[in-house]
Amino acid sequence: MAAYLVVDTLLDNPELYEEYKRLARPLAERFGGEYLARGGEMTLKETDLWSPTRLVLVRFPDAQSANRFYDSPEYQDVLKISKQSARRTVVVLEGV
C-alpha cells in the first residue's frame, strides 16, 4: 500500500530552506519517493481543525519506505537545515 509524506511548512528563512530542498529531494527519491506537490497554489475549503500554510506531498511505495527515508541518518543531517529555516508538521499517511 502506498504511503504519503504530507508536510506543512511555515518558512522562517526561505533562502536557507532552498538548500534543504536541494538536498532532501534526491534522498527522498533514493527511498522511492515521488514528489506530487511542492508548495503549489492552495484553495482552502474547510479549516475547522487545521489551516495549512505550504504543503508538500511525496508518495512512497509503502509506509516502511517513507519511514526509512525520514529516519535515515542522511536525512536527519539534512533535516537540521529545515529546523533552522522553517517550522513544520510532518505526517506519514497510508493510502492507495
75 within a domain of the structure (yes/no): yes
Query: Which structural domain, as residue segments, surrounds residue 81?
Result: 3-41+53-94
- pLDDT above 70 covers a percentage of the chain that reads 100
- pLDDT band at 5; cut points 50, 70, 90: very high
Tell me which amino acid residue 4 is.
Answer: Y
Count of structural domains within the chain: 1
Share of the chain above pLDDT 90, in %: 98
Strand partners, 56: 7, 38
For residue range 55-79, list pLDDT tens digits in order: 999 999 999 999 999 999 999 999 9
pLDDT value, residue 93 = 98
Whether residue 64 is contained in a domain is answered as yes
10 Å CB burial of residue 10 (0-12, 13-18, 19+) is: exposed
Report residue 40 as a C-alpha cell.
503549489
Question: Which pLDDT does position 96 carry in this prediction?
Answer: 87
- Which CATH number is 20's domain given? 3.30.70.100
**What does the block give as the cell for 76?**
536527519
